[in-house]
Amino acid sequence: MKPTVLVTGASGGIGLATARLFAAKGHPTVLHYNRSPEPALAAAREINAAGGVALAVRADVSQPGEVSAMFDAVRDQLSGVDILINNAAIARQSLFTDVSYDEWRNTFSVNVDGMFLCCREALPHMLRMHAGSIVNLSSMWGQVGASCEVLYSATKAAVIGLTKALAQEVGPSGIRVNCVAPGVIDTAMNSHLSGDDLNWELRRRSRRQFTSSLRTARPLSPDRFSVPTEDSSCSVCCILSDNLFTARGCCAA
């Protein structure tokens, strides 16, 4: 059986597209959701009906007990998590001076603490197997920052730092930790953006530009990466699995 994949934030956008692609490749796939159950539940039903193996599990990734319960459910019904895609996140757009402390803490608790908690739960199994892969979803704003997106940018910059440091720590044990920092993607999180905003970014980051920059960032052969899309948007995520990616601590923009 192929490695088991857990995708957080799999009720839409990048997460749902990623989960569907892994399932299509024959991986037992866990679709995590929190406040929007139906898309993840429907996708799991479709995957199972088509002969695949899928499980939809609810958890608030900012809560240690709920994350632990989610991983327990995966272990009980499937196996340990071999590939973890940390995608769950929330975003707020406002002036920095209008951000409350509670908003700051809540966003960090989901976007950063959630990744910490999921990595902490996934790693014991990976360490025992001396294999595994973790992919953390950051953002271009984590690299360059954005006006009126200071809070979101700060969390995504933290994700990049977490990725690079954790890759150094667990790399010698055969575990790869990498990061993807997409540009502006046409998802519900970006629904406040105008069509002109999206079209400009999508033109700037065409699939050819994305794959070219990924190849030059680290040495890869053409059969060692896969780029899924959602609808007609640009490439949104580099799928990493046991035999697809060799770099560690890489942040693919």
Q: Which residues are catalytic?
A: 152
- The 10 Å Cβ neighbour count of residue 239 is 22
Cα–Cα distances (Å) from 111 to 34, 149, 152, 154, in that order, read 14, 14, 8, 10
Q: How far apart are CA 251 and CA 218, in angstroms?
A: 10
The residue assigned the tokens 């040495």 is 219
Take residue 14 and report the two structure tokens written for it.
């990048």
Take residue 245 and report the two structure tokens written for it.
């990616």
Q: How far apart are CA 100 and CA 92, in angstroms?
A: 11
Q: Residue 79 contacts by C-beta under 8 Å, 6 or more apart in sequence?
A: 1, 4, 28
Cα–Cα distances (Å) from 175 to 2, 101, 126, 133, 161, in that order, read 16, 36, 7, 6, 17
Nearest of 22, 19, 21, 1 to residue 10 by alpha carbon:
19
